[in-house]
Amino acid sequence: MQVAAKNGGLGKTPKGPRVTRYFNACAGNLGGVFKQHVGIYWKRFNDNRCFSFPSFAKEFVISLAVSDILVAILALPLNSAVLVKSDWPFDYATCQFQGHFGMTLGFASSETLALMSLNRYYRNVRPNNYRRIFTARQTSIMFVAAWVIASLGQLPYVAAGHRY
């Protein structure tokens, strides 16, 4: 705050401290994401008692972990560069890539959370219908459909001529 006051406003803070603070925050977030989601994978494949629902429903948790890891790998480094430079330092193709995959992973994560909510609803409130609706085959179809819908969700936007 004292640095901002000396420079006449918040927007004129020196880049050095801002870059260092942001780099430390990104490194901590990236490390936390990997630690958390690698732990999920480890538990998923090595401990059958870690989740209280059937093994085929665990795929929703894995899907959510995959989307979060991909966001950390694909979006975080690009966003870091933008925040450090205060401008887009990459080319047009990278912008389109980041826009498409950022939206795809965000949609996939949201759809997976919605499917997990439905799964828990049927498991706890409608247990007679749960076994009929959430079979291993239908759960796999839901899982794949969520990712396909998420990846195709941006096509109308791009087909209409818009850019990210």
Domains of the chain listed by start with CATH number? 2-159 (1.20.1070.10)
pLDDT band at 12 (very low <50, low <70, confident <90, very high): very low
Nearest of 139, 135, 70, 82 to residue 109 by alpha carbon: 70
Q: Which two tokens stand for residue 57?
A: 């429903």
CA angle 85, 88, 92 (to 5 degrees): 155
Contacts of 69 (CB under 8 A, 6+ apart): 33, 34, 37
Average pLDDT estimate for 2-17: 47
Q: Which residue has the higher pLDDT, 6 or 26?
A: 26
pLDDT band at 4 (very low <50, low <70, confident <90, very high): very low
Look at 10-14, 85-89, 98-102 and tell me which has the smallest mean pLDDT: 10-14
Average pLDDT estimate for 68-89: 80
Would you say 63 and 146 are in contact if contact means Cβ atoms under 8 Å apart?
A: yes
pLDDT band at 146 (very low <50, low <70, confident <90, very high): very high
Cα distance between residue 85 and residue 22, in whole Å: 11
pLDDT digits (tens, 9 = 90+) for 109-141: 999 999 989 988 998 899 899 889 888 889 889
Burial of 42 (0-12, 13-18, 19+ CB in 10 A): exposed
Q: Which residue has the higher pLDDT, 13 or 58?
A: 58
Residue 48 has pLDDT above 60, yes or no: no
Query: The pTM is what?
Result: 0.67
Nearest of 123, 79, 119, 125 to residue 98 by alpha carbon: 79
Residue 45 has pLDDT above 50, yes or no: yes
Q: Which two tokens stand for residue 76?
A: 């975080």
Helix 92-124 vs helix 136-152: crossing angle, to nearest 10:
150
Encode burial over 121-158: b for 16+ CB neighbours within 10 A, e otherwise: ebbeeeeeebeeebeeeebeebbeebbeebbebbeeee
Predicted pLDDT of residue 3? 43
Nearest of 104, 138, 116 to residue 58 by alpha carbon: 116
Residue 163 has pLDDT above 80, yes or no: yes
pLDDT band at 44 (very low <50, low <70, confident <90, very high): low
